[in-house]
Amino acid sequence: MSFSPHPPSLSGSNSVEEQRSRWERKRSRAAKELVQTEQHYCQQLELVTTFFVEILKAKGTLKEDIREAIFIYLSLNSYIQLKKNKAFRRFKTLQEARPQFDNQKLEDLLQMPVQRIQQCPATDAVVSLFPVGAVDALSEVSQRIKDNAQRHDNHLQLCRVQKLLKGRKAQVLAPGRWFIREGWLNIVPPKGSETKPKMFFLFSDLLLEAKCCSPLSFSSGRKYVGQHAYPLRDAAIEKVFGHTRSSGGLLSLTFPKVKLLLMSSNQDDFNDWYQCLSSAIRYKPINAHP
């Protein structure tokens, strides 16, 4: 016959109390951490308000619309507007040199609101600190921020490619279009002449063939002339060879009015082109990313 120092009901009660106590300690630590990080977050944002926003307003160095545009672009990690404004660049460098910034850059501070939402821990202890539905709302906002960031990055890629291209067939900025990849491939002609290296830009709905403006160099930074645009809606792709681990391969791309044979001597590059083209051909929705 076994002996228990406490009646079963009392022992169970102690166990529940211990669990409740551990849970409250976790909850207390989570609340303390949130308060501390929130205080630091507010202090960092106050630096931006004090040493950038308020001083710029007081000095009248920039017009309000230009000032807002610069801050928006910096918060999106885009430096186009910054490069255009020498006065703001000088002011930014001067302010960032203050000891209060501790070698931090303005663009890093401006991205904190986005990072704050995305990095908020979703542990049970933290979730218990928020009202019902607040965590779901936070997750929804975080996902919306990620989607907006992806759309912004894609827009920058489209703008970059557009600047590389010349010619009436090189219009790449279009609603719902997503950039996928770019690179050199050799076109194999239907008759036995030599292959021709061409630059290809692959988008979610389009394959654009281009040639280098200067045939003497394929170095980066060159301009390209768009030659042919191939819509992917009714395209089909097939590996002619390159199924095994070899030195490259040959792809067959069939469009309603033309057929392309594209070759790469690099196996990894060949496989990536095949995967990307296959995904783009299967991609149907207009307003989503592939």
Q: Give the model confidence (pLDDT) of 226-258 as tens digits.
A: 999 999 999 999 998 876 666 788 999 999 989
CA 42, CA 33: separation in Å to the nearest integer?
Answer: 14
CA 112, CA 27: separation in Å to the nearest integer?
Answer: 25
CA 88, CA 56: separation in Å to the nearest integer?
Answer: 9
Amino acid 231 reads P
CA 210, CA 11: separation in Å to the nearest integer?
Answer: 78
CA 254, CA 230: separation in Å to the nearest integer?
Answer: 10
Closest of 259, 263, 243 to residue 251, by C-alpha: 263
Spell out the domain ranges in the chain: 23-129, 167-282
| pLDDT score at 43 | 83
Amino acid 24 reads E
Distance of CA 113 to the CA centre of its chain: 17
Ramachandran angles phi, psi of 270, nearest 5°: -60, -45
Q: Does domain 167-282 have CATH number 2.30.29.30?
A: yes
CA 201, CA 161: separation in Å to the nearest integer?
Answer: 8
In the predicted model, residues of the chain with pLDDT beneath 50 are: 1-7, 217, 219-220, 286-290
| pLDDT score at 240 | 87
pTM: 0.62
Q: How far is CA 162 from CA 146, 165, 172, 208, in A?
A: 24, 5, 6, 11
| pLDDT score at 125 | 54
| pLDDT score at 84 | 67
Q: How far is CA 183 from CA 178, 192, 267, in A?
A: 16, 24, 14
| pLDDT score at 181 | 96
Please report the DSSP string for 106-134 in residue order. HHHHHTHHHHHHHT----HHHHTTSPTTH
Q: Which long-range contacts (CB under 8 A, 24 or more apart) does 262-266 make?
A: 262/185, 262/186, 262/187, 262/188, 262/200, 263/185, 263/186, 263/187, 263/188, 263/195, 264/185, 264/186, 265/186
| pLDDT score at 103 | 87
Closest of 148, 264, 265, 161 to residue 203, by C-alpha: 161
| pLDDT score at 210 | 93
